[in-house]
Structure formats: structure tokens, C-alpha cells
Structure 1
Amino acid sequence: MQYFFDQHFHVMNIAHPNLLSFFSSLESGIPDLITSGALSPSYILTNKNRKGSTLLNRVTNTLTTFEQSIGKTFVLMEDDLSGFFPSHEDGAARPLLPYIRNGKMHMRSRTYDRLAMCPLLMDFSSNEQRNETLYYPTPKEQKILAYVQDTLEGFAYYETQHPQGLFSFYPFLGINPPVHSKAFITQLLETYVVKNRTNPKGKRFYGIKFYPPLGYEPWPTDEREREKVLLIYAFCNAYDIPIMTHCDDQGFRGIPAKEAWKYTAPASYKPVLERFPNLRIDFAHYGWQYNQLQKNPLTMISSLTSKLPDSPWFYELTELMTAYPNVYADVSFSGTNPDFYMLLQNYLHTLEADTRRTILSKTLFGTDFSVNLMKVESYTSYYRIFEESAFSDDEVHAIVSTNPMRYMRLET
């Protein structure tokens, strides 16, 4: 059985995010949003001339997936890969033939029997917040259990609508430790997370999703908060459960941008890995940074001539990938820009052969659907941009199949 992995994507409806938390994080309003880099041309806004694509169209296209059930979004994603939807954007990346055809998934010279889909649930739960500028305090919300239930119902809906479909689901459970008690975290882990892959016992979640910009600090200075994260790390270490953590300087936030950057940087995990060196962690988005304030001006100038990545986090991350056996990186969202693959390839070619093999063996395919629709026309378009990269057929196969099988411990 050959599996093709989308190791990183999100499905949710409008009820799941915590918009109050997001707006409360913008301490100075629009200036904070600008400072964060969210409006950088290389992030959401695009400086490329894409006929038929406007910011309004991209926002509307993205929100379409939030206005329907999770199950319907799963169906939409498979239908998209099966060629059901015509392109409306001139120059959009499109394959000559649908990726799913004749009962198989096709990529380059390979065919795959199943698509291993890894939806990442974000824990948008929050504590009560009182703000002197607000008349009403924002309430404490516990959102993750409803999100879990909606996701499980989405799996069931997909299976009724596509009984012969190719999707198999390996979801990750979001946990935001600061907003929960140790007892509740233990309940989440014991109730939902698969400890034994050969005997799941009805549990459905194969990994843990961390999202530092919501307020999760990988190695808290506060003793009580550290006990919570140690509980999760020890659990994942004992049962060899994969962790995925957000790792670019953008995305949804529940705290101010500079605090979010501090928690999100790969280096923030160094004390974690020193304590648990065998932890299985995927750093999402390959540590990409869009905010110019975080970059060394000399490195930025050098990168223009060398055509190498100019993100300090990228190099922090690749250092961890070579230092620890189970540290991985995925290409989600970063791969909306074809130049990302060019820069990654250029970097790999600067490495000694053994180091290059190590980095390649820990690189995973992911899309960041549906957030990526702000930058690409469709789920299919993201696949096509990756297919058109300079990676060899064998390297593509490793990134979409061999590497994630090892990361997820699903080798047969």
C-alpha cells in the first residue's frame, strides 16, 4: 500500500476560531498588524500579476471553506484533486490530468493507493480576559472538544459521501496548555490520542498540534505552566507520538506579535530537545519569516546575490534537524511561492552530501489548506507548484511518502 501524505492542513468552520482572542492581540490596532508583517507582499498580499485574482476573490474563496461543514470540505478537497472544478484564474498552476484518476493518486512518475490526510486541529480555547478599554470582559471559552466532535463527524460524512474515496485520516489534536488544567490535558491525551498504532482502541488522533502564537510557550519560566508542557512532552516521548508546531512568523495570533515570535522561533525548543532528545517534532512552514524586522540586513543583502533563504529561523531549524534524530520540517504554505523551492534547493546544494541527505530525509509535504487559498487558486494548484519544483522524482516520493511514513511511525 503506497501512501501520499498531506502532512499539514486545516479544516474548520467559522465557529472554531476565537476571533475575540485575535482582535485583543492587536494591542495598538492597525500599527501592530503592520509591524507584524501580515501585510508583507511576500505573505498574504502578492506582488505578482495574476489575472482574475484579487484580494477580495482570494478572501472569498478562502471563506467558502469556513461556511460549510468539515465533512463537506473533505469532499471538496478530493473532488478538486479529481478535476471537478475549472480554473478561473489565468496562469494558475494546473496539471494536465487530474491528480486522482483511475482510482489512484498520481504524482510525477508514481501512483499511490491512498492519501494520508493529517488535519491539524488548533486549540482556540481561551481564558477570561479583562481589558480596561472594553465594557464587557472576553469570556473563558473551551473550544477544543466541540472542534474534535465536529471533525469526527466530518470523517463520517466523508466516508458516506465517498465510500470508495482515497482519503485516510491521521489527525493531530490541538492543545494550548496555558488555558487548561493539568487534569484536563491528561483527559485529552488519554481520551483521544492513539498510543498503540496496531491497536488504536477507538482513538482517532495520531499526533499533537502546538500553536505558539496562541500563547503556548515551549519551555515556560513559570513552574506551573512548565509542569503542563512537561506532561505532554513526557507522554509523547513515552509513546513516540509526533508533535507538530507552527513555525513561521505569521498566522492567527492570540498574543502580541513580538511575544508570538519569541515562542515560535525554533530556538525556543532547544531546552525541550535537550530534555527529550528523541521527541518527534515537525516544524511547520520550514521556519519561514516574512517580517523584515526579524532579519539581519547583511543576510538579506547576501541572499539577493546568493539566492539562499534569508530567514534566520530557517537556519535555526536546519541546525536542529541535523542535531536531533526526529526533528522534521514541512513545506506547508511556504510552497505557495515557487521561489521557496528554488531557495531550498540552492541551500541543499551548498551542503555536504551526508548533511544534504539528512535534511532531505526530514522534509515533509504539506499544504496549509485552506489558509493557502489566500495565495493560490486551489488545493490542486498547490500540488502543481510542488510538482513543478526542481526536486527529482525520487526526492518528491521521499517528501510525500517515505519521510512522512517514518515521521508518523507508519512504516509497514
Structure 2
Amino acid sequence: MVHCGYVAQQPPVSVHDHVTCTAQFYNPREYFFPVRNPSQVMEDPTPREELLSSILDWLDQGGPGRLHLQDIHFEDFKKALDTLSALRIKLRTHRFDWDNESRTILIRKPTELTEVLGGWFVYELAILVNQKLSQVSICGRPSVSNMGSTELPIGKEGSRVVPDQSLYLMQVDANGDDVFVSETPRVVFETSTSEQRHYMIEKIFKYLFEMSDVHAVVICDLTNVPPRVARESESGTQPVKPFKAEIAVWSRKTTGSVGSDYPLDSCYHQGESADHKVGDNLDSTSSSSFEQSHTDASSLVLDEFDHSAREYFRPDPNNSEKQQRIYRRSLEWIALCDESVPTGQGGLQSELILDIYDFLRPCSHFPHSYIRDRNIVVPLNALRSRLVLALERRRNSLQQNFKLPEAESSTHQLPN
């Protein structure tokens, strides 16, 4: 039997009659329930029908939070997408994560807030990265390119993810053509609007250790995002909770092995080898100012998980005697917006810092030659202003929708 669950900041207002809402609580913000109650239908639906019905139920309610589907086959999911397309229901803008081992899929719908953040990442941040690459690169003519929300294979079991945005490294080959250095992005951007922090940290591990060419993951964590649909409580409309947006850069912790910590890229230098730029020796620049030993490292085990830790570890799946570690570059999560602070937004940190080696790798012809000027400084004030405007717009739209008379429900009908 297919199982599904809505993951939202508040439970759904209502569900269709054939959905049983006797929820088995997984955590305070996530629950699962059978798609259909067999006693309420004449014939048992097929798994594909159950899956399609679950997605339609979720879409009919405006796609609240994220939809978690369990015990399904990916081929059935693709067939469901084809059926939705025939119904002129497009999920092109939706993001999904597919775990082949557990046969679960998580679907989430982007919002105005996530689109503002994603646009900033692929345009303004990418421009600053390309400016820095043109100034300090010592091999070839590197640049970064946006591939948007593209499905990516992850791990060895056929799992896939669709990040919110991503940046790929490009170079110019001997023919003068732009080429991708890798089929995998170098930096991934994800926005978390209703995920538990534990789920997002697990996902960072997957990006950094199960996709070998990903160097860094930028996470923007949004708390108390206004819902798409107004809800009433016994005393009227529910009070507005203080919105908060935090951002941070995450990367792998170095192991001490130069071969694994500093993999190489092919040389893209055009011309005589004697003209190749040479940087500093590895010994003089290898100790990044970001990386330190952190005493607050947290396990991913749920009972031991610390949601505010700066460093996390998990057992290495390929070697039980070793650990894999990730760490947050900044001492704390950087607040983009925090309505719980009474003094306003004036004292918030004004920049995010990336490393040039979040995008580059040393050249294979000069493996010990490194760039000294590594920091890429990304201002945050303009992003902060646009995020606040998008938040106000979402709240205004919510208030207007709440005042409108309730329209007659028009649910999607399954094709015969």
C-alpha cells in the first residue's frame, strides 16, 4: 500500500473523504497516513491510482508544505507525472527527492520566497563568482553557469534529487569552445521552508559525499513562512508568527589526505606551458580561515542530534572505522531576516563568504600551485530587502484571499 503524508507548518484544513487522517506522527511537523481506506471503496485501487490520487489531493489543497510518498516505484511516479501532464497539470517547477533504497519520494512546491532566493543565487552571486574567477584564476578561463533545478543522480542506488539551484564550473577547451568541467555542479543551493533541520543536514551529507564533485552547499532555512491559504482558529485568524530566514555555507571537513581533500582538474591552459600562471605552494594556503576543530560536533542519530551544531558526523558507509564530517563556515547561521528581534534588521551580518575552491580545483600540471586570494565576498543587504518585500507581498495576498468568499471546490478528476 502506498502511504503519503503532508509536511507543513500546520496540518491541512481538510482532506478528501477517501483519505484517512488517523495520522501516525513521525515528528511534530510530519505525519503519514494511508491514501485510501479500502473499506470505503468497492475495489482496491492499484498502486499507480493511489499515487496519482495522493498527488491530486495535495495539489487540490494548494500543495501545502511538502508531500512525502512512501512504498512506491519510481516508474509509477513517472507514469503519474505523464497522467498529470495529460490533465494539463504541470509539476515542472516542483522539486522532488527520490530515495531508491527506501522507495520514498518527497515533493515540494517553490514559493515567492524560494524564487527570490534562487534568483539571487544564480544571478547576483554567480556574477560575483565569475568576476573573482577572472581576476585570480591561474589555469584557463573558468566561469560558472547556472543549470537551474535539474534532476541529479545521487549515490549508487539510483536515487535522485532536484536542488533549488546549482552552479557548474565551465572552461574553454583547445578549440575555443565552452565545456563543462564536470557533469555535477560544484555548488548547490537549497531552500528549506518546512523541513526538519535533521533532514536538511542529512541531505547535505548526500550532496557532499555521494556526489563527488560537489564542493559546497548553500542552505537558506526559512521559519514561520506564511501559509498559502488562510486558516481560522476559534478566536479568528491565527496570529502572525515571527518570520526568520538564515543562510549558511556547508562543506566537507578535510581529512588530512591531500589526494582526497584536494582532487585535481584537467589543465585548460592554452599556449606554452612556461606561460602557465603559478600560485602559492599548498603548505602556505591550505589552512583555510573557515575550518577549525569544533567541540560541538553532533551525531546524526536523532536522539543525539543538535540542530544548532556547527559540525556533524556520520559513519563512513564504505569504512565503519571512519567518519564523514561536514561543517558550517560561519560561527552561527547568518540571519537574513529575523522578526523576533525587536531592534529590527540593522545589526544583521551584511555578507556571505565563499571560497574560490568551492568552484575550482588545482590544475593537474601544477598540483601544488594554489590561489592565495580565495575569499568571494557576497553582499546580503539587497537580498535582505527583496526577501522582506516578498514576505510582505505574500502576507498581503493571504489577507486578501481570506476576505474573499469561499469559492466552490473544483477538484481534479481522474481520467477513465
TM tier, shorter chain? under 0.3
Q: Which has the higher relative contact order, 1 or 2, with Cα contacts under 8 A spaced 6 or more apart?
A: 1
Question: What is the TM-score of this pair, normalised by structure 2?
Answer: 0.26
Bigger share in helix: 1
Structure whose alpha-carbon radius of gyration is higher:
2
Question: What is the TM-score of this pair, normalised by structure 1?
Answer: 0.27
Bigger share in strand: 2
